[in-house]
Amino acid sequence: MSDGRRVAITGMGMVTPVGADVQSGWDALVAGTPGGGPITLFDAGEFTARIACEVKDFDPLGWMGRKEARRCDRYAQFGVAAAVQAMESAGLSGPPPGCDPYAFGVLIGSGIGGITTLENNCRTLFDRGPRRVSPFLIPMLIPDIVSGLVSIRYGLRGPNYATVSACASSAHAIGDAARYIREGRAELMVAGGAEAAVAPISVAGFAAMKALSTRNDDPQGASRPFDATRDGFVIGEGAGCVVLEEMERARARGVEILGEVAGYGPTGDAHHMTAPLPGGEGALSAMRIALKDAGLGPDDVDYINAHGTSTPLNDRAETGAIKALLGPRAYDIVVGSTKSMTGHLLGAAGAVETVVCVLACRTGVIPPTINFSTPDDDCDLEYAHAGPIERPVTVALNNSFGFGGHNVCLAIRKYGE
């Protein structure tokens, strides 16, 4: 985004399996805390995959009223909580007096939406008939409802919708929101993603396609990106949101600027419903486009928060793409996957990992990739397997890829650099 208005990050929020706010989540990630465990949200005894990274100790009443909480699917509760955290950290309670509310928008994506609500109401329909289906079924399950709820709460009348691109959903949301600001069509956007798909139907579906780890006897060690013994991802849940603001506007109101969305690279594989291009060409193009958009080059990259799902195909293709992007320098930077701890948050992953990139830039600390035991000749970069790494990070790339061949790379730059 080098040739237009700059996009500041002025607020952040997240709800994850290792912490229900930014500070606790970040501390846990730096400490290498695993978020996996046996599924408790339903009886998974007959499932081939019986583990997940569930959000723990989350009380929706800390973020919304009891009535609203009853009318929100779990994914929406997470999304609202992350958005409220982000707005509070940005020092905002809505458009400031005298500002145009149509210049303030919300773009919060979800890959799946309210699947638990849908599943429960399908049971009601089949067991008790159509008259017993909840009148809140539709607003509770649709993927755009978090954007709607946040806009209503804060009176934000600008661009308002959800991106739905599987596991790239929230990265698309942040990139699109940044583009609105860059192009002068918005002054401020709340952007991110939310997901809560630890439900029988989705776990059964992912397991049927052999996407999930079945390391049920070792739930904390099951998510092992880039390890030769990886056997699939561990499904997770949570939400992440950022407040994006036009840079000069943020400076004028004196808010702390946490970082900058410097570049956005969206591409498509046009290859397969679920598998990435074997050589990672789509991922490579996304990273190149993000860097060009930011006015940066491969030599500027200090850290890559990889998509790093712990699936055999993704980790191999992504590593190949990074090598093609950086050449020999790929061995000099850190390529980490926080999914080793959070599991795969699906449509929320890109937003949570954007927060991680911002914090890595601010603190000079890169979280580890845990659960390494067996080297893979095809995945031979520095993944921070030994623990967190302390080094300056000025530019971080955040990769997010989704079923359907959706690729997004966000270039995050440290503020003041």
Cβ-based neighbours of 217, under 8 Å, separated by 6 or more: none
Active site residue 167: yes
Of the listed 307, 385, 406, 409, which one is catalytic? 307
Active site residue 385: no
Of the listed 53, 72, 167, 379, which one is catalytic? 167
Q: Are 21 and 88 in contact, with CB atoms under 8 Å apart? A: no
Active site residue 271: no
Return the number of other C-beta atoms located less than 10 Å from residue 82's C-beta.
36
Strands 303-305 and 259-268: unpaired
Of the listed 344, 361, 379, 409, which one is catalytic? 344
Active site residues: 167, 307, 344
